[in-house]
Chains A and B, each alone.
Chain A
């Protein structure tokens, strides 16, 4: 009996629900898919140009104050009135998930950094003793400019790093295709932020970088398979080979997107205000990143004049271990 139970536990079978027989004609229809991506990218560009990103305090300087009404639900309209009567310029007031909480945003004062801190204190004083100050951020003009430039540099540096790494591990065509797909993902996510007017702050930049890592991760899995199949099927035309590779890895791509999506969804639903922008960027980014890995990155290889000789000829000697040899034999 006991043994039976043990074997049952050990042989507990998972459900293979993915339709593995799927052979989507992706490369054949690449012009449509890449066309869709172009349209999305152009719309994003237009949105960013027309509306601009709603830069957070991190990037443009200013103050944020999160308050909690000690006596009960906060009257946002009244709070707005009080805040704007404090004489420190226009204050944005926004209610939060908890009915007792509210967020106040103050733009950079005309007097510059020196005026910012006293103005923030003046505002707090004007709110009265009824409010508990839960969070207060004051960021000066110099620091915010530095944060913006270091954020941009972090994105650029990671793109270049990824480009170089892929160039070493694959061919330049792969590296360029992956990075183009990556820029596409980051760009469209930014467009989404411009459209929805969500605050674009440091945590969103962190999300974009993670998204870059995640999306290229997906792409690399497909590329790895293309390289492997090139050695395996010597006669197969390139378009068919790319199609086969995308379809073979499709289950993994979709399942992983699913697990990451689930994890980030929990963060989006249960996380606090601070983490909201981050979670949204990741949530949207997983979807767009999966799209680009399947429908954009690999088909792009068709445009870059990739040949089998380049890949198999050079990497046979370069990769060590059994994988390449086994692949070549089969």
Chain B
């Protein structure tokens, strides 16, 4: 039936009004819109391809995360067996997967197992859900061999933690003031997606990439007092020490204690500065705990050397001249100003838990974005114009109805996108244009059906009613199949496909809605306005 009850009419009109009004803010400046009252404070976000900007997809080296965890674990096992007086026949890492402890005496097994089990912790995620999954598992391999290693969920939790702390570090490095509208999110299992809108200056972008290139783990190590790197290579070894390569700035390779005196997360401050010779230098301050450790170490080891190691390479290995109690220090090492500035940013932001690898990079210049917007506008206007002309030509008054319906349809897509925070990309504009083409299809179906009923000698009014009724199932079937394709695109696609899938899918929903409310309501008004005319003729 074509008749609409009053409340239904009101509901439809309200929905359309909101749909159209919601699109208005998108016609104005984003900044200006922010101060507007709700619901008009949201405008559609332009994708990077339209507003210009940079996009990086980086992956985190999860093997490094695992390796660090295992060597950490090995240290802990070592300490625990020492303090529990367990005699070790061996301690090592097997298959880059488990820490294996071999006992001298089988009697120690019970104590060893207890000590190892003490390292096992329930997973954070498992605590919430009430299950008892743990991060590590202990296995007795024989009477004298016991091993401990990460569980699969434990490994995944470690990865998640690694990714979140990397995201924080990346944010501090790229946008320390938090003023740029950067979007830094996890993607998939081991990836970080970084979107920097509005930045397309190659120099700035290279700078961004540069500060992410190293993990910037700065550690302080004790230098072996007597063995030199050459001695070590010639075979004079000592357990716990190994050769660290030089960064080729000053000095050569050094033999250092493998365990750092002060770890990579112990700086409270790092700034570029200059030394007495007016050479660029890096000034830093330890956190209080590390300052105490270093104060004690330096006062006991005056005249000996320690090394500052950055990402596994010796930056410098100075001689301690006096006790350093205040935790302040300065590194000089043939830096230039840019290097020092970069290093300071990296150190201030904390170390990345593992190196990041650039998997994909995309930079769109602002001028290209503006061109794309212009091209998108022209294509949409002309495409819409052609469709409007066609509908007017083919269906007259009812063509006007369908044009009104399609216009409301497009406004609704924009409104939904603004509210959902979905970005409008160039493929997204293509999706809108395609929606214009396909949305009139619903109307074409209805109107062709009306014509058919007219040819079958139905009265105009009943032909219109039948046309809407009978086309309904067809329109739903036809649009749902397209929606399936849209959802598949959204779920599995990435980047450009996603932007397109969003507008296409939203377009299908709004198309079905407007075809059965707006077009139909207008048609019912048309029929009502002809109630008093004796012999009416459908304008078909």
Contacts and interface: CB of A to CB of B under 8 A. Distances in A.
Interface residues of A, number: 88
A329 interface: no
B492 interface: yes
Given A20-B451, A203-B427, A256-B444, A212 B492 contact: no
A278 B427 contact: yes
Interface string A293-306: 00000000000000
Interface in B359-414: 359-365, 367-368, 371-372, 375-376, 378-380, 382-384, 386-387, 390-400
Contact of A147 (B434, B447, B477, B494): B494
Nearest to B439: A259
Contacts of B384: 263
A121, A153, A221, A279 pick with most chain B CB within 10 angstroms: A221
A10 B539 contact: yes
Contacts of B526: 10
A150 B493 contact: yes
A154 B493 contact: yes
Given A133-B365, A158-B488, A221 B396 contact: no
Nearest to B449: A252
B517 interface: no
Contacts of A282: 434
B474 A220 contact: yes
B360 A138 contact: yes
Contacts of B452: 20, 248
A309 interface: no
Interface in A69-90: none
A158 B489 CA distance: 8
Contacts of A213: 481-486, 504
Nearest to B483: A213
Interface string A1-32: 00000000111111111001000000000000
Interface in B434-492: 434, 436-438, 440-441, 444-445, 447-449, 451-452, 455, 469-470, 472-474, 477-489, 491-492
B478 A11 contact: no
Given A135-B365, A214-B438, A151 B390 contact: no
Contacts, number: 279
A216 B478 CA distance: 7
A85 B116 CA distance: 61
B480 to A, nearest CB: 6
B386 A209 contact: no
A143 B359 contact: yes
Given A154-B489, A203-B497, A217-B441, A138 B390 contact: no
Contacts of A66: 368
B308 interface: no
Counting chain B CB atoms within 10 Å of each CB, which of A114, A166, A212, A267 scores highest? A267
B49 interface: yes
Given A143-B360, A157-B488, A262-B390, A13 B540 contact: yes
Contacts of B342: none
A113 B357 contact: yes
Contacts of B368: 66, 134-135
Contacts of A11: 396-397, 537, 539
User: Quick one: which of A17, A151, A266, A274 has the most chain B CB within 10 A?
Assistant: A266
A223 B383 CA distance: 29
B309 interface: no
Contact of B387 (A20, A137, A259, A323): A259
Nearest to A141: B359
Contact of A217 (B451, B478, B489, B496): B478
Contacts of A203: 427, 496-497, 500
A157 B492 contact: yes
B202 interface: yes
Contacts of A323: 469-470, 472-473
B50 to A, nearest CB: 11
15 contacts: A12-B539, A13-B540, A133-B200, A138-B361, A151-B497, A202-B495, A206-B489, A217-B481, A252-B449, A256-B438, A260-B438, A263-B384, A272-B372, A279-B430, A319-B473
Given A154-B491, A255-B448, A266-B383, 19 more contacts: A14-B394, A14-B399, A124-B202, A153-B492, A154-B497, A162-B481, A169-B477, A202-B493, A202-B495, A206-B496, A210-B504, A217-B479, A225-B474, A270-B382, A274-B427, A274-B496, A275-B375, A275-B426, A282-B434
